[in-house]
Structure 1
Amino acid sequence: MTLVDSNVLLDVVTDGETWADWSQQRLEQAASSGPLIINDVIYAEISTCYATVEGVDAMLRNLDMELAAIPRTALFLAGKAYLRYRGAGGLRTGVLADFFIGAHAAVEQLPLLTRDARRYRTYFPTVELIAPEREQ
């Protein structure tokens, strides 16, 4: 299984000029080795591009994505990692979702397909990241 970050999905569904090809290719590669999953946080992030739940669900079906719950141990780990981030002077705005996603991947030992590896690498160093070369 591979956990897919919202930025990769949004690249594909919006046909993002810069990253759509890279994201589509990596999605196909990841799908060839097992199921592709997202969690509730990623679902909420991608829902911003759709008018209805049915629209989001149809896109997920088209991409053969599964929705997986975030384990409580991952939720706990996300909170602790976020405290470390804040203690190091990190900003409060717009980052908590990344901690839920990174902790989910860490606890369930899932590779994470993302375009934004920096925070994941810093706070979840055990997670295998599938990211652009510039992020590796």
Structure 2
Amino acid sequence: MDASLTRRRLTLVDTNIFIDLLTRNPDWFEASRLAFERRMALGAILIVDAVFAELSAGFASEADCSDFLDALAVEHSAMSRQALWRAGRAFRDYRRQGGSKTNVLADFFIGAQAETLGVPLLTRDAGRYRSYFPEIAVLAPQ
């Protein structure tokens, strides 16, 4: 991560917030927009690879997805081995608790990065993150 990021307040944002903004989800658009704008006013908005990958499914091209994120001044946060290891541990715990997915879920990459960086996570999926990453500050739109 760029050293300049460490001097600013950071927030990692989950895919569902961006989807709310893009689709103008009638149940969540306003709350997600306000929460996003509040965090943006405080500092940098970050995403991890998994968020870009999930979000890109809704765009015709990589350039369109990148343009959307650039317009919101969203920055990419590359994952460290420590964060990747933590994602794997969370996935292991999920499987031990009876989880049925056989591939590491994007949420585990997102939560692990927030935990490793020590930054809050803006998401509508607060329950899963609080279960597997109790150390992170989970911010949910209201």
Instruction: Give, in whole Å, the separation in 2 of the partners of 1:62 and 1:20.
Output: 18
Q: Which runs of 5+ in 1 are unaligned?
A: none
Offset from partner CA, 1:27-63 (integer Å, 9 cap, x none):
1000111100101100000001101011001100111
Partners of 2:97 and 2:36 lie apart in 1 by 33
Residue 36 of structure 1 corresponds to which residue in structure 2? 45
- How much has 1:132 moved relative to structure 2? 3.9
Any conservation in 1 of the 2:119–2:136 contact (CA below 8 Å)?
yes
* Stretches (4+) displaced over 4 A: none
Paired amino acid for 1:82: F
Of residues 113, 116, 120, the one that matches 2:122 is 113
Alpha-carbon distance in structure 1 between the residues aligned to 2:126 and 2:117: 18
Identity %: 43
Q: What is the Cα deviation at residue 93 of structure 1?
A: 5.8
2:68 to 52, 59, 71: 59
Q: Structure 2 vs 1, CA of residues 22 and 126 (structure 1 numbering), >3 Å: closer, same or farther?
A: same
1:71 counterpart = 2:80 = yes
TM-score, structure 1 length as denominator? 0.93
Question: 1:15: Cα distance to partner?
Answer: 1.0
Question: Higher mean Cα deviation, 124-133 or 112-121?
Answer: 124-133
Q: Is the 8 A contact 2:88 2:104 kept in 1?
A: no
Count of paired positions: 133
Cross-structure match for 1:85: 94
Compute the RMSD of aligned alpha carbons.
1.3
The whole-number CA distance in structure 1 between the counterparts of 2:81 and 2:103 is: 21
